[in-house]
Amino acid sequence: MIIRVFVASTPAEWLPARVLEYSIAETTSQAVRLSQLHTFERSIPMPVATQNRPRTPFSFQRFLIPELCDMQGNAIYMDADMQVFRDIAGLWNTPMDGCDLQTVQAAGDGRRGQFSVMLLDCERLAWNVDDIVAQLDAGSLTYETLMYDMRVASKIGHGIAPDWNSLERFEPGVTSLLHYTDMNTQPWISPDNPLEALWIDGLRRALAAGFIHDAELQREIDTGHVRPSLRARLQDDKLTRAAARHIDADFVAPYRSLKSGRAMPWNSVQSMVSAALRKLRRMRTNGWRV
């Protein structure tokens, strides 16, 4: 049986999602099919009330999964900002125990429950995102009860061990899935993540295996999806953070200009303007007509 994995994404998450996919492939002998959810181009309606609108363009993508699986079988949901270190079969084979979905046990660190890793029974859930948004508009759901309590599932299990959603912490031989939750220091965005070397090594292995091609890496750098210093970092393990920051001086992380259902903050507008100016400078440097 093929393990079906769906990852919340926009085009800007292509590279981290591919590194995630490679990390799954290199740690399992089972057949896995990973899909980035934005590629299905299924429209998601926008709730009327501002407070119920998605916080990111991919917040509601998880509710598409049963439909994409024809309401049959199980599927795994993950965020794109993750990396796997143990056989995903351990997650896939989690007993459903009559639940609509299984999610990760609380880590005991005071954080609210996480639904960023889930094993879904697509037949029992039978979600329709249009109906879910209609419930938001009718007032029978709020953003909080939907996203933090997952009220659209009748029975929620917490049978997935905490090591399958380790938030910014890594213990060799124990951590199954590392979740880079701090958007400001995600390794493809910043050199400042304490666990950056783990992700860089994963990217390096994916490139060496031909799973990711050099031209694809360059494309993601050129489009501003990932930091320019990645190439220098791959070539030099001793590259200092200061040197990487210098290379990335004009880089603006894509999340700063992501469009969601909320009003775009002024700093995001500034980021978009800065990105456009950088692109214009590159075009002039390369002798292109504008």
Write down the pLDDT at residue 256: 84
* Closest to 3 (Cα-Cα) out of 34, 26, 38, 36: 34
Q: How far apart are the first and last CA of the chain?
A: 52
Per-residue b or e along 66-101, where b marks 16 or more CB atoms closer than 10 Å to that residue's CB:
bbbbeeeebbbbbbbbbbbbbebeebbebebeebbb
DSSP state of 109: S
Contact between 35 and 7 (Cβ < 8 Å):
yes
pLDDT of residue 263: 39
pLDDT, tens only, 189-199? 999 999 999 99
- Report the DSSP pairing between strands 101-104 and 117-121: antiparallel
Q: With a cut of 70, list the residues of the chain below it in pLDDT.
A: 106-114, 258-290
The domain locations on the chain are: 3-167, 182-285
Contacts for 69 with CB less than 8 Å, ≥ 6 apart? 4, 75, 122
Token pair recorded at residue 210: 């031909």
C-alpha 81/C-alpha 107 separation (Å) is 18
pLDDT at position 271, please?
Answer: 41
* Single-letter code of the amino acid located at 236: D
**Which residues touch 91 (CB under 8 Å, ≥6 apart)?**
76, 117, 119, 160, 164, 176, 177
At residue 53, what is the residue type? Answer: R
Cα dihedral across residues 47, 257, 273, 225: positive or negative: negative
Tokens of 4: 């079906």
Q: Is the backbone of residue 70 left (phi > 0), alpha (psi -120 to 50) or beta?
A: left
- The CA distance from 74 to 29, in Å, is 19
Which residues 6+ apart lie within 8 Å of 274 measured at CB?
250, 252
CATH for 3-167 is: 3.90.550.10
285 phi and psi angles, rounded to 5 deg = -60, -40
Indicate the SS3 state at residue 131.
Answer: helix
What are the strands, taking DSSP E only, across 96-202? 101-104, 117-121, 156-160, 166-167, 177-179
Residue 257, pLDDT score: 74
pLDDT computed for residue 274 by the predictor: 45
Q: In terms of DSSP bridges, do strands 166-167 and 74-79 run parallel, antiparallel, or are they unpaired? A: unpaired
- Residue whose tokens read 């639940």: 99
Nearest to 74 by CA among 47, 97, 98, 101: 101
